[in-house]
Amino acid sequence: MIPKYRQKFNQEFSQENYEKVKSILKEKSGLEPGFRLSESPIFLTQEFKSKLLDASESILDQIIAMPSEALQKAIPENCKVPNDTLKPHFYTIDFGICRNADGQIEPQLIELQAFPSLYAFQKVYEDAYCEVYPFLKEIKNKMSDEEFLAQIKKLIVGNEKPENVILLEIYPEKQKTAIDFYLTEKFLGIKTVCLTKIKKQGKKLFYENNGELTEIKRIYNRVIFDELDRIPDLTTEFDFREEVDVTWVTHPNWFFKISKFLLPLLKHQFVPKSYFLNEFPDDENLENFVLKPLFSFAGSGVNLHPTKEITDKIIDKENFILQRKVEYAPIFEDINGEFSRAEIRLLYVWQEDEERPVLVQNLVRMTKAAMVNVDFNKKDAIWIGSSHAFFGEE
């Protein structure tokens, strides 16, 4: 979208430079990423950024104004966790990069969550791109490294000692996002702990830290609670539904409250029309919509081509939405003259003492397939996978 930066990057690109970016990430984390990295970042205009921020701020305004009782309806009864909070610590908002009927590039809301994403990884990823391609430094994120770290540290560690704060995940070493866990450890001095290793005494939680049982006072939660039921033979001392003396960052209930559940309730020119399946109007055409289960993660269960036969078989229609299809624009040119599509995730943090969330980073996924998932691309495709957006003037 910014020809001068695209041309310069494509001219400087080489397989060697791609490997350099990956080696920097491995050197700084000690791990290989568990997901594919795109060979290229994307370049977006300040005009497009203004559209993104306008949509995001409107969405945030609408959510903040919603009565808490309305959001509570999104939490499944078997997933309610005690001691809910007034606001989440994170907001992530996903937009497809699309072209409207007039040919203009615009964002279209895809999903939103109050759940942490790859905050630490994306910061290091951006820096790695800038190290290998120095011209990118002039358009990198304006938030300094020091301010970013201060924001993340205040949010996750708060006023506690790092040893009393953990990153909680289930079998973290098996997760594709493990590289982000280790970078978070390096940034903050906290430990990543598997849920199966948590010890419980009364209302207090503990973990083994260098051979000593250490109290947990703050949990940076990366466990998707409703996925625990799908893990066979899972044995833990601690159940999320128990009342314990910890501060959640962010509280698990927010995973459900800020989710696809909200899509039918939001209004903006960059928010595609959505309906709960049980409220889908007769005068709408299913062919124009994507079917999504409310409670899924990473695109699982999404049907791009729903039919009446399919929807009629769904018993719990209130747990599905139909979202108007958007067409991702193939505008990101690779070195072979082929074009990728992309979606961008805005990464916000919301400090406990602040009135509004603050945008700290972005995450991009690139694809040449119908869905933004590497598994749906040809094996030899390039310019696909996890990436980063740089914003500049044309």
Instruction: Give pLDDT tens digits for 158-216.
Output: 999 999 999 999 999 999 999 999 999 999 999 999 999 999 999 999 999 999 999 99
Mean pLDDT of 216-221: 98
Which of 182, 155, 340, 117 has the alpha carbon at shortest distance from 249? 155
What value does the mean pLDDT of the chain take?
93
- Residue 226 pLDDT level (bands cut at 50, 70, 90): confident
Encoding tokens for residue 297? Answer: 């993660």
pLDDT at residue 259 tops 80: yes
Q: How many domains does the chain have?
A: 1
Is residue 38 within 8 A of residue 125, CB to CB? The reply is no
- Which amino acid is residue 197, in one-letter code? K
Residue 237, pLDDT score: 93
Mean pLDDT of 251-277: 94
Mean pLDDT of 285-305: 81
Which H or E run contains 255? helix 253-257
Residue range 345-389, pLDDT digits in tens: 999 999 999 999 999 999 999 999 866 655 555 667 999 999 999
Mean pLDDT of 33-43: 96
Q: Strand 274-276 relative to strand 320-324: parallel, antiparallel, unpaired?
A: antiparallel
Tell me the whole-structure pTM to 2 decimals. 0.93
In the chain, the largest separation of any two C-alpha atoms, in whole Å, equals: 64
Residue 380, pLDDT score: 79
pLDDT at residue 78 tops 90: no
In degrees, rounded to 5, the angle at the alpha carbon of residue 352 between the alpha carbons of residues 246 and 50 is 135
- Residue 126 pLDDT level (bands cut at 50, 70, 90): very high
> Which CA distances in Å does 28 have to 36, 172, 179, 362?
17, 18, 10, 20
Phi, psi dihedrals of residue 155, rounded to the nearest 5°: -70, -50
Mean pLDDT of 336-346: 96
- Which amino acid is residue 13, in one-letter code? F
Helix (H, G, I), strand (E, B) or coil at 261: helix
- For residue 148, the enclosing domain spans 3-392
Q: Which of 79-83, 292-296, 323-327 shows the lowest mean pLDDT across its residues?
A: 292-296
Is residue 366 within 8 A of residue 342, CB to CB? The reply is yes
Q: Please report how the helices 145-156 and 178-188 are oriented relative to each other, as an axis angle in degrees rounded to 10.
A: 100
pLDDT at residue 224 tops 60: yes
- Residue 69 pLDDT level (bands cut at 50, 70, 90): confident
